[in-house]
Amino acid sequence: MQSHHSPAARLRALLTQGDDCLVMPCCFDAMSARLIEQAGFPLSFMSGFAVAAARAALPDTGLLSVTEMLDQGRAICAAVSIPVIGDGDTGHGNPANVQRTVQDYARAGFAGIMLEDQVAPKRCGHTGVKEVVERAEALRRIRAAVAARADGADLVIVARTDARSALAGRLGPRRALAEAIWRLRACADLGAEVLFLEAPADTAEMARCAAEVPGLRMVNMLEGGLTPVLAPAELAALGYRLAAYPLTLLACAVHAMQRALADLAAGRTPAAQLDFAELRRLVGFDAYDDLLARFADPPAGSGTGSQAVTSTPDP
């Protein structure tokens, strides 16, 4: 039974309020998710690329297991109160695997799941995708996810297609884009709530997708990737509701760590770093100490401490 207070319900409410484009920074661990929430963003997305990099220093080429993604996701969802969409990759197998993936993501605390039509093992959509599954298999994944949702695994289903980039070499850009749009429209007909064309090549392709694909549309804003990075207002004018920034936080964090390491190697203490008191607060030391103080022994003679407990003889 779906709850009005579930993560998915809160995400649906957010997505249907207003018509601006929601900026969605992507997280990769509990700390990055908490920073996103504390910065005032209303939602986040667990990026598969960023998790593979942060958790295992591996490329986003399907090397992490669904168990590893779920373990990371549970920590992320537990650290924040904002809804989080999880990267479900290809669903990790046949329709039975897809359904179990959806069920496990719902139990982990996610508000939504993204499922894509790449051939497994998949790879980052901006690093040269070469293959997508046939139409029937792509739609089978979404049908399985929708059925799992109907059976109680309440998640917002994000349907992604990589057909534009994967098929351009064989079909040409225009026909590949037409195929991608067909797939998204079919996914919307099946019950996918958010539609996501990965790696459109220019603003004209972005505009065509928004004009021809119904429902809520998502776009990837990857700095240095294949798609132009536009301002949120421009994306909203095109018709996009969600803008994911998949690697912004990871790239900035890595850059900051490299600069700090260079300072240490040169014998300097890095100047650009968080104050220790703020770091303690951020990870929860203040809240931890406040909680312990609540359960500290009361002053002697208050009548509520251990001295007020008297033993009762055995009968």
Distance CA 192, CA 188 (A): 5
Tokens representing 257 are 């760590």
Residue 118, φ and ψ in degrees, nearest 5:
-70, 160
Three-state DSSP at 237 gives helix
Q: Which amino acid is at 229?
A: V
Tokens representing 90 are 């290809």
Three-state DSSP at 46 gives strand
Distance CA 287, CA 219 (A): 37
Residue 217, φ and ψ in degrees, nearest 5:
-115, 140
Three-state DSSP at 157 gives strand
Q: What Cα–Cα distance (Å) separates residue 215 from each residue in 9, 176, 200, 209, 218? A: 17, 21, 18, 11, 10
Output the pLDDT for position 22. 98
Tokens 């079909």 sit on residue: 171
Domains of the chain (ranges; CATH) run: 7-248 (3.20.20.60)
Q: Which residues of the chain have pLDDT under 70?
A: 1-4, 300-315
Output the pLDDT for position 277. 93
Tokens representing 251 are 């790239």
Distance CA 105, CA 154 (A): 9
194-231: b or e for each residue (b if 16 or more CB lie within 10 Å)? bbbbbbbbeeebbebbbeebebbbbbbbbeebbbeebe
pLDDT tens-digit series, residues 157-171 = 999 999 999 999 999
Tokens 């669903």 sit on residue: 91
H-helix segments, 191-302: 203-212, 232-238, 248-265, 276-283, 285-294
Nearest 10 degrees: CA dihedral of 276, 279, 283, 286? 60
